[in-house]
Amino acid sequence: MYKCIDPEEIHTANITRQEILDYYNEQYGLVEKDRDYARYVPDMVDRVLQEWNIYFLSHYSIFSEASTITGPRVGTCSKYIFSFNMIIDSSKKGCKSNQGLGKGIHKEGCSGSGGAHGGFGGIGSPERGGSIDGCTDTVSEPYYFGEEARYEGSGGAAGDKDRETGGSGGGIIWITAPEFMYPRGMQVYAEGGPGREKNYD
Protein backbone atom coordinates (compact mmCIF):
# COMPACT_ATOMS: atom_id res chain seq x y z
CA MET A 1 0.00 0.00 0.00
CA TYR A 2 1.74 3.15 -1.18
CA LYS A 3 -0.69 5.67 0.23
CA CYS A 4 -2.96 5.24 3.20
CA ILE A 5 -4.64 8.64 3.46
CA ASP A 6 -4.92 11.85 1.47
CA PRO A 7 -4.57 14.92 3.72
CA GLU A 8 -6.71 16.98 1.32
CA GLU A 9 -9.64 14.58 1.55
CA ILE A 10 -9.81 13.73 5.23
CA HIS A 11 -12.97 14.97 6.98
CA THR A 12 -12.55 13.27 10.33
CA ALA A 13 -9.87 12.97 12.97
CA ASN A 14 -9.98 9.17 12.82
CA ILE A 15 -8.58 6.83 10.19
CA THR A 16 -11.02 3.95 9.91
CA ARG A 17 -10.33 0.43 8.72
CA GLN A 18 -12.66 1.01 5.80
CA GLU A 19 -10.67 4.06 4.67
CA ILE A 20 -7.49 1.99 4.70
CA LEU A 21 -9.17 -0.79 2.73
CA ASP A 22 -10.60 1.70 0.22
CA TYR A 23 -7.21 3.30 -0.39
CA TYR A 24 -5.56 -0.09 -0.72
CA ASN A 25 -8.07 -1.29 -3.33
CA GLU A 26 -7.87 2.01 -5.20
CA GLN A 27 -4.05 1.90 -5.24
CA TYR A 28 -4.03 -1.49 -6.93
CA GLY A 29 -7.07 -0.86 -9.13
CA LEU A 30 -9.06 -3.63 -7.45
CA VAL A 31 -12.86 -3.97 -7.68
CA GLU A 32 -15.16 -6.31 -5.77
CA LYS A 33 -15.21 -8.99 -8.45
CA ASP A 34 -11.38 -9.30 -8.34
CA ARG A 35 -9.91 -12.25 -6.46
CA ASP A 36 -7.40 -9.99 -4.66
CA TYR A 37 -9.98 -7.39 -3.58
CA ALA A 38 -9.49 -6.58 0.12
CA ARG A 39 -12.66 -6.80 2.19
CA TYR A 40 -10.83 -7.18 5.50
CA VAL A 41 -7.44 -5.94 6.74
CA PRO A 42 -5.89 -9.46 6.70
CA ASP A 43 -6.65 -9.57 2.95
CA MET A 44 -3.97 -6.89 2.51
CA VAL A 45 -1.19 -8.77 4.27
CA ASP A 46 0.32 -10.79 1.42
CA ARG A 47 0.61 -7.87 -0.94
CA VAL A 48 1.87 -5.42 1.68
CA LEU A 49 4.58 -7.86 2.74
CA GLN A 50 5.51 -8.46 -0.88
CA GLU A 51 5.59 -4.78 -1.87
CA TRP A 52 7.12 -3.37 1.30
CA ASN A 53 9.96 -4.84 3.29
CA ILE A 54 9.09 -2.60 6.26
CA TYR A 55 5.70 -1.05 6.90
CA PHE A 56 4.42 0.76 10.00
CA LEU A 57 0.72 1.46 10.32
CA SER A 58 -1.04 2.96 13.33
CA HIS A 59 -4.55 4.33 13.71
CA TYR A 60 -3.33 7.03 16.07
CA SER A 61 0.40 7.72 16.47
CA ILE A 62 3.91 6.47 15.77
CA PHE A 63 6.79 7.52 18.04
CA SER A 64 10.41 6.83 17.15
CA GLU A 65 13.60 7.91 18.90
CA ALA A 66 17.23 7.35 17.89
CA SER A 67 16.34 4.52 15.51
CA THR A 68 17.71 3.43 12.13
CA ILE A 69 15.59 1.64 9.52
CA THR A 70 17.06 0.30 6.29
CA GLY A 71 15.35 -1.59 3.48
CA PRO A 72 14.40 -1.44 -0.21
CA ARG A 73 10.85 -0.33 0.65
CA VAL A 74 9.90 1.51 3.81
CA GLY A 75 6.38 2.75 4.40
CA THR A 76 4.79 4.42 7.41
CA CYS A 77 1.33 5.85 7.98
CA SER A 78 -0.31 7.26 11.07
CA LYS A 79 -2.46 10.18 12.13
CA TYR A 80 0.50 11.56 14.11
CA ILE A 81 4.20 10.79 13.57
CA PHE A 82 6.85 11.88 16.08
CA SER A 83 10.44 11.22 15.02
CA PHE A 84 13.55 12.17 17.00
CA ASN A 85 16.99 11.54 15.44
CA MET A 86 15.62 8.80 13.21
CA ILE A 87 17.35 7.58 10.04
CA ILE A 88 15.48 5.90 7.17
CA ASP A 89 17.77 4.68 4.42
CA SER A 90 16.91 2.83 1.22
CA SER A 91 19.97 3.98 -0.73
CA LYS A 92 21.34 1.51 -3.29
CA LYS A 93 18.55 -0.94 -2.44
CA GLY A 94 16.44 -0.48 -5.57
CA CYS A 95 16.80 -2.28 -8.89
CA LYS A 96 20.19 -3.81 -9.57
CA SER A 97 22.47 -3.13 -12.51
CA ASN A 98 20.68 -3.23 -15.89
CA GLN A 99 17.27 -3.77 -14.27
CA GLY A 100 14.12 -1.66 -13.87
CA LEU A 101 11.64 0.18 -16.07
CA GLY A 102 14.05 3.08 -16.54
CA LYS A 103 17.30 1.12 -16.58
CA GLY A 104 20.40 2.82 -17.93
CA ILE A 105 21.35 2.58 -21.59
CA HIS A 106 24.64 1.24 -22.91
CA LYS A 107 25.93 2.37 -26.28
CA GLU A 108 29.15 1.47 -28.03
CA GLY A 109 31.77 4.10 -27.25
CA CYS A 110 29.97 5.33 -24.12
CA SER A 111 29.89 4.15 -20.55
CA GLY A 112 26.54 3.03 -19.20
CA SER A 113 24.10 5.80 -18.32
CA GLY A 114 22.36 6.18 -14.97
CA GLY A 115 18.95 4.70 -14.23
CA ALA A 116 15.80 6.84 -14.14
CA HIS A 117 12.87 7.17 -11.75
CA GLY A 118 11.22 10.55 -11.10
CA GLY A 119 13.82 12.23 -13.30
CA PHE A 120 16.01 11.33 -16.25
CA GLY A 121 19.04 9.10 -15.79
CA GLY A 122 22.50 10.62 -16.15
CA ILE A 123 24.25 10.58 -19.53
CA GLY A 124 26.88 7.91 -20.07
CA SER A 125 30.30 9.50 -20.44
CA PRO A 126 32.35 8.94 -23.60
CA GLU A 127 35.03 6.31 -23.55
CA ARG A 128 38.64 7.29 -24.17
CA GLY A 129 38.98 9.60 -27.16
CA GLY A 130 35.24 9.94 -27.67
CA SER A 131 32.93 12.95 -27.59
CA ILE A 132 30.05 13.59 -25.20
CA ASP A 133 27.92 14.52 -28.22
CA GLY A 134 27.87 10.87 -29.24
CA CYS A 135 26.45 9.81 -25.87
CA THR A 136 23.56 12.24 -25.40
CA ASP A 137 21.02 9.66 -26.56
CA THR A 138 21.88 7.32 -23.68
CA VAL A 139 19.51 9.17 -21.32
CA SER A 140 16.91 6.83 -19.80
CA GLU A 141 13.34 8.10 -19.52
CA PRO A 142 11.57 8.62 -16.17
CA TYR A 143 8.68 6.26 -15.46
CA TYR A 144 7.45 8.00 -12.32
CA PHE A 145 6.65 11.62 -13.07
CA GLY A 146 4.05 13.51 -11.05
CA GLU A 147 2.32 10.34 -9.86
CA GLU A 148 2.54 8.08 -6.84
CA ALA A 149 5.76 6.08 -6.71
CA ARG A 150 5.12 2.42 -7.49
CA TYR A 151 8.60 1.07 -8.18
CA GLU A 152 12.13 1.51 -6.92
CA GLY A 153 14.75 3.49 -8.80
CA SER A 154 16.22 1.65 -11.79
CA GLY A 155 19.76 0.40 -12.03
CA GLY A 156 22.39 2.01 -14.22
CA ALA A 157 23.57 0.43 -17.45
CA ALA A 158 26.54 -1.91 -17.38
CA GLY A 159 29.27 -1.83 -19.98
CA ASP A 160 30.79 -5.21 -19.12
CA LYS A 161 29.86 -8.43 -20.87
CA ASP A 162 28.11 -9.82 -17.78
CA ARG A 163 26.03 -6.64 -17.34
CA GLU A 164 26.93 -6.36 -13.64
CA THR A 165 28.87 -3.13 -13.23
CA GLY A 166 26.03 -0.58 -13.31
CA GLY A 167 25.02 1.05 -10.03
CA SER A 168 21.85 0.11 -8.17
CA GLY A 169 18.86 2.44 -7.97
CA GLY A 170 17.46 3.85 -4.74
CA GLY A 171 14.53 2.30 -2.93
CA ILE A 172 11.15 3.79 -1.94
CA ILE A 173 10.33 5.63 1.27
CA TRP A 174 6.73 6.69 1.81
CA ILE A 175 5.71 8.65 4.92
CA THR A 176 2.13 9.83 5.41
CA ALA A 177 0.74 11.73 8.41
CA PRO A 178 -2.62 13.36 7.63
CA GLU A 179 -2.76 15.39 10.85
CA PHE A 180 0.74 16.13 12.13
CA MET A 181 4.37 15.10 11.72
CA TYR A 182 7.29 16.19 13.90
CA PRO A 183 10.56 15.12 12.20
CA ARG A 184 13.18 16.50 14.58
CA GLY A 185 16.65 15.39 13.48
CA MET A 186 15.13 12.98 10.96
CA GLN A 187 17.28 11.89 8.00
CA VAL A 188 15.83 10.21 4.91
CA TYR A 189 17.97 8.74 2.12
CA ALA A 190 16.99 7.00 -1.12
CA GLU A 191 20.07 7.56 -3.26
CA GLY A 192 21.20 5.51 -6.21
CA GLY A 193 24.59 3.84 -6.06
CA PRO A 194 27.68 4.30 -8.26
CA GLY A 195 28.81 1.77 -10.82
CA ARG A 196 31.77 -0.47 -10.03
CA GLU A 197 34.89 -1.61 -11.76
CA LYS A 198 35.40 -5.13 -13.05
CA ASN A 199 38.61 -6.57 -14.44
CA TYR A 200 38.90 -9.56 -16.76
CA ASP A 201 42.11 -11.59 -16.84
Q: Where are the beta strands (DSSP E) in 86-193?
A: 87-89, 172-176, 180-184, 187-189
Nearest-5° angle of CA 163, CA 168, CA 170? 155
The per-residue pLDDT for 198 is: 65
Q: Say how far residue 198 (Cα) sits from the centre of its chain.
A: 27
Between CA 80 and CA 59 the distance in angstroms is 9
Q: For residue 186, what pLDDT band results from cuts at 50, 70 and 90? A: very high
Model confidence at 199: pLDDT above 80: no
Domain boundaries, the chain: 17-92+170-189, 94-169
Model confidence at 4: pLDDT above 50: no
Contact by Cβ (8 Å): 127, 110 = yes
Residue 183 burial (CB < 10 Å; 0-12/13-18/19+)? middle
Highest mean pLDDT among 51-65, 111-125, 168-182: 168-182
Q: How, if at all, do strands 180-184 and 80-84 pair?
A: parallel
The per-residue pLDDT for 1 is: 38
Highest mean pLDDT among 49-58, 128-137, 175-184: 175-184
The per-residue pLDDT for 39 is: 94
Residue 23: HSE in the Cβ half-sphere, 13 Å Cα cutoff: 18
Between CA 167 and CA 133 the distance in angstroms is 23
Instruction: Give the amino acid at 69.
Output: I
